[in-house]
Structure 1
Amino acid sequence: MSLLNLKDKGINLQQNIPLSRYTFTKTGGCAEYLAFPKNLDELKLLVETANKDEQPITVIGNASNLIIRDGGIDGLVIILTDMKSIKVEGNEVTADAGAKIIDTSFTAAKAGLSGMEFAAGIPGSIGGAVFMNAGAYGGETQEVVKSVKVLTRDLEIKTYSNEDMEFSYRHSKVQETGDIVVEATFALKPGNKLEILDHMNYLNALRRYKQPLEYPSCGSVFKRPKGHFVGPMIIKAGLQGKQIGGAQDSMKHAGFIVNKGGATATDYLDLIHYIQKVIKEKYDIDLHTEVRIIGKE
C-alpha cells in the first residue's frame, strides 16, 4: 500500500502543501505528503506505510517554535493537532500529543490542579513541549511530567518515565530516538482554582506586555547562555531592530525575530546567523538556537 492509498481509508492526506500555512512564522516550503491523523491507529498506519515506501517521516506539533526551510520537506510530514484529547483523573492530567499546552494548563487549573501555570501562554502542543522540554517564567515541562507514551518508528508503543526521558534544558531523549510522542501524563497538586487562574492570567498579561504577539514569530529564538540573558546582549550589541528581508529582530523583545511582512525562512536564518556572528565577535559567546530548524535549503 502506498501513502496515497491511505486517502481511501479516510485519512486526511494531502500532497505538495505549503507548510507556511501552519508555522507560526508564516514561512516554509512545501511538504511532499502532509497528513493529519485523528487517532493512534491512523498514526500507526501512516508510519507503517511510510516505512514500507521508504519515505522519511517528519512529525510536527503546533509549529510554534519551528522554522521550516524554504526548500520544504521530502517524504511524509505528520501534524498531530487533530489528536487533542485532554483527561483529568484525580491529581493527574493526560493529554494527547496534539493538544495545546495552553488548553491543557487551563483544563488543569479549572480542575483545581496546580503545577502547569508556567505554560499558560506557551503556544506549542503537548508533544512539542515534551520534545523540547518547553519552559517559561521559571517553570519547565520536566517538572510536571509523570510519563510519556510514544510510538517508535518500528511501531512499538512504549511508556517512558520522567527519568527515562532524560530531560535537560530544551532537550529530551526523543530528540535522539525519533520516537513520536503520542500522549503525556502530568502529576499535579491540588490548589485553589481562583488563585491558579489568577496567576495564569497575570503571566499572560506579562507575556502580552513583553512579547511581540502582534507579529508572526517562532517565539524565543536562542537558548540562554550560562550567565547571560540573550535579549539584553543583543540590545547592547546594537542588533535590536536589525532586519533582513521581512525578518526583524523585534523592537519589543530582542530575543524574538518577527515576520514584518513577506519574510521567508531564508530571511529568518540569515538574520539568526548574522546575530550569532556579531555576538561571537563582540563577546566570544556562542548563541545556540532554541527554535527547531528543519527542511531543505
Structure 2
Amino acid sequence: MNMNYIYDRLLEILDKEDILRDEPMKNHTSFKVGGPADILVTPRNEEQIVDIVKFLKKENIPFFIMGNGSNLLVKDGGIRGVVIKIGDNYSDFEIQENIVKAKSGILLSKLAKNILKSELQGFEFASGIPGSLGGAIAMNAGAYGGEMKDVVTSVKLLDMDGNIFELSNEEMEFGYRKSILTNKDLVVLEVTMTFQKGRYEDIKAIVDDITIKRTTKQPLNLPSAGSTFKRPTGYFAAKLIEDAGLKGVSFKDAQVSPKHCGFVVNLGNASAKDILSLISIIKKTVNDKFNVLLEEEVKIVGED
C-alpha cells in the first residue's frame, strides 16, 4: 500500500486537519490502548463519507469505520489502511415536536441532554451510555430496561458501493446487542427517532436515578470499554465472573474491576495484549467452573 498516494488522494476529499497519519488508536478509544492507524480521517459531511468509501473500495484499500471508540479494543499492532472516524465532525441534530433526526457521530449523552430539554421521554436509558449514535445503532445499545430499537423509526445507511438508502426499524433486524450491521458492511449516516411528550421533571428524575446507579456501581474513573462481555442466556456475566473468584484479579495493568466484575479496566499502562490475556483467563475460568462460554461485547480489531 502506497500511503503517500492514499494520503494525497484523501486530500482531494478532506481538509488537511481531518487526515492524520500513523495516528495512535489509544487516543481514540475509551480503553486508552491500541497501536497506530496508517491513516485516520474524520469526515464532516455525508458527501465526504461517500467519496472516501467509494475511493477506498475502488482502490481495494482496507478500511475500518468507527464511532466514539467506547466499545473498541484495538490491538497493539494498530490498524492497516484507513480508519474512518465518524464523530464530533459529523454530529448535527434537529428536533421537531416529537421527532428527532441526528447524524451518526453525535454522542448519546449529548443527544439525551437535548431530548430531555425538549421534554421528550423514552431516551433516558441512553443518557449514560458513552458511545456515539452510529455505534449504538450498530449494536442496538441498551441499559436500564431500554434499547435503541425502542425509539428508532428509520436509519439512513450507506453501502460499500456508495449507495444511500433507508431502512425501517423492522428492517434493521435489531436483536440483543446486534442489528443488520452485525453481518453486513453498512455505515450509519443518520437516525430518525420518535418519542412521546413528557414532563421535564419526570424525565429528569429518571435520568438522575440512572446516573446515580451508574456512578455508584460502575468504575467510571478508569479506562474501559464498558461491559466487556455480553449477557449469557440465563446468567449475568458479572455474577459469573465474581462467583468464579475473579473479582479484582489483574494481568499486569489490566484488571477485573472490584467495583463491577463485568468491566475489565486499564489501571494505567495496560497494553491491548494484557487486556486480551485477562479476557482469555476470565473466559477459561468461567467456562471451567460453570460450563458457560462468555462472548465479548467489546469489538476487537487490529493487528498483534
- AA matched with 1:23: T
Contact 1:3–1:50 (8 Å) recurs in 2? no
* Other-structure match for 1:4: 8
* Other-structure match for 2:220: 213
Contact 2:14–2:43 (8 Å) recurs in 1? no
SS at match of 1:282: helix
> How far has the Cα of 1:9 moved from its partner?
4.4
> How far has the Cα of 1:103 moved from its partner?
1.1
Partner residue of 2:77 out of 71, 84, 90: 71
Cα separation, 1, equivalents of 2:184 and 2:240: 34
> How far has the Cα of 1:166 moved from its partner?
0.4
Indicate whether 1:23 and 2:29 are aligned: yes
> How far has the Cα of 1:8 moved from its partner?
4.6
Cα separation, 1, equivalents of 2:27 and 2:129: 20
Deviates more, 1:250-259 or 1:87-96: 87-96
Contact 1:64–1:123 (8 Å) recurs in 2? yes
> How far has the Cα of 1:2 moved from its partner?
3.8
Cα separation, 1, equivalents of 2:75 and 2:43: 24
> How far has the Cα of 1:76 moved from its partner?
1.0
- Structure 1 portions without partners, runs of 5+: none
- AA matched with 2:11: K
Q: How many residues were matched structurally?
A: 297
Indicate whether 1:269 and 2:273 are aligned: no
Q: Deviations over 1:238-295 (max 9, x none)?
A: 1011111210000110000111010011111111111000000000001011111111
Partner residue of 1:91 out of 80, 85, 98: 98
> How far has the Cα of 1:7 moved from its partner?
2.1
- AA matched with 1:284: N
> How far has the Cα of 1:6 moved from its partner?
2.4
Cα separation, 1, equivalents of 2:173 and 2:8: 37
* Other-structure match for 1:140: 147
Cα separation, 2, equivalents of 1:209 and 1:75: 40
* Other-structure match for 2:288: 281
SS at match of 2:51: helix
CA-atom RMSD in angstroms: 1.1
- Structure 2 portions without partners, runs of 5+: none
* Other-structure match for 2:160: 153
Cα separation, 1, equivalents of 2:194 and 2:13: 37
SS at match of 2:226: strand
SS at match of 1:181: strand
Cα separation, 2, equivalents of 1:123 and 1:9: 30
* Other-structure match for 1:42: 48
Cα separation, 2, equivalents of 1:156 and 1:121: 33
Cα separation, 2, equivalents of 1:2 and 1:264: 29
Indicate whether 1:126 and 2:133 are aligned: yes
Cα separation, 2, equivalents of 1:125 and 1:199: 21
Cα separation, 1, equivalents of 2:223 and 2:144: 21
- AA matched with 2:265: V
Cα separation, 1, equivalents of 2:181 and 2:162: 15
Cα separation, 2, equivalents of 1:24 and 1:2: 28
Mapping for residues 254-265 of structure 1, pairs under 5 Å: 254-265=261-272
**Normalising by the residue count of structure 2, what TM-score does the alignment of the two structures yield?**
0.95
Q: Which runs of 4+ in 1 moved over 4 A?
A: none
Indicate whether 1:171 and 2:175 are aligned: no
SS at match of 1:177: coil
Cα separation, 1, equivalents of 2:13 and 2:146: 42
> How far has the Cα of 1:71 moved from its partner?
1.4
Contact 1:4–1:13 (8 Å) recurs in 2? no
Cα separation, 2, equivalents of 1:198 and 1:142: 23
In percent, how many aligned pairs have the same letter? 40
